[in-house]
Amino acid sequence: MQTKTLAKRLALGVMAALVSVSLLAGCGGGKDKGAGAQNDPPKIEIPAREPVSTAPTMTFKFGETEAKVYELTGVDLSKVIRTNKLVTLGDELFFHTDGHYSEDKLQHINKVTIKKETIADLVDLGPSGDIAELATNGKIVIWQTNRKATEGKDKIAIYDGKAATVGGKWSGSPMGDAESGDFMVYWGHELRHSKLEDGNWKELGKVFADDKTAFPDFKDTNISLKTVCVSKGDIFMRYFVEKEGGNIPYLIAFNKDGKELCRYEGIADLPRGWAVTENYVVHTGSKGAIRVFDRKTGKVLGDATIDMRPFALWTKTGNDVIVYDDRSHKIYRIDL
């Protein structure tokens, strides 16, 4: 009797371990889901884009697909950008700038206009705070103010396409949802579905009240989630898992009900930014490493190395990703 009970416990333990491992990478919920579930590359319909007359600066392949990289020229951004977050609103690209660049010696938000492979019109929008905080819901761009410019308080700076104004109290770390115009604000261990109303946060509900409860395998760990983006209604956040030899970066996707959709295991060697496009998930490393996943299945489509240090990424539209190279201080567009 004891032998049978012990065997049953061991079997249950093995099953639990397998479930835990399956949660670390890939997508669940279907016969063809999961990072290693398909032997053949998934068929992906690529959105059409306008023809490009400029020759690419470089190219790389992931699977059978060739990606083209274009340097965006027209404004010298040397010693200007200081950011690990980019966002675009229409044809405008927003980023934090170094305090050495401004007269008041404070960090600021600047923007440039992108027209095909050209950037122009460098415009200063005012002081900014934490370089990790910059978000757009497709209608406005928001960032945390610099305390020295707002009487020692963290406020919400709001750019509406014409001018930047200061709203109410800043809280948490927001991601904008272009479909609804709302924001997902991560605060502590909870994710709040919120919107800006008269320059102040109004909570509409919670996606989850505790990430340790929402994702059971996070329990009893020191995993800390960081915001990435909301894309087509799906929410993406990044984190690290401690393993022997270092920390492994992951991206987790879930819906507005907090239901997990997929996980992606990133580049372990000096990991940098994540981007989510129409069809792909992209991760980069400081040595020029780039990994492309099928967004839907979580399958790794390919790894490559490019001649840049891709520090920060943002999807402009479709499968076009804007990249800041903090080694050359240049902006590139990758057409995947």
pLDDT of residue 96: 96
- pLDDT of 42 reads 64
First to last CA, the chain: 60
| Predicted local confidence at residue 40, as pLDDT | 58
Per-residue pLDDT of the chain (336 residues; tens, 9 = 90+): 434 443 434 333 433 333 343 345 678 543 333 443 344 556 677 777 778 878 999 999 998 999 999 999 999 998 899 888 999 999 999 999 988 888 999 999 999 999 999 999 999 999 999 999 999 999 999 999 999 999 999 999 999 999 999 999 999 999 999 999 999 999 999 999 999 999 999 999 999 999 999 999 999 999 999 999 999 999 999 999 988 778 999 999 999 999 999 999 999 999 999 999 999 999 999 999 999 999 999 999 999 999 999 999 999 999 999 999 999 999 999 999
The CATH classification number of 56-335 equals 2.130.10.110
Distances (CA, A) of 117 to 54, 91, 102, 113: 7, 11, 27, 10
Strands 183-187 and 173-176: antiparallel
Q: What is the C-alpha separation between 113 and 88, in angstroms, rounded?
A: 9
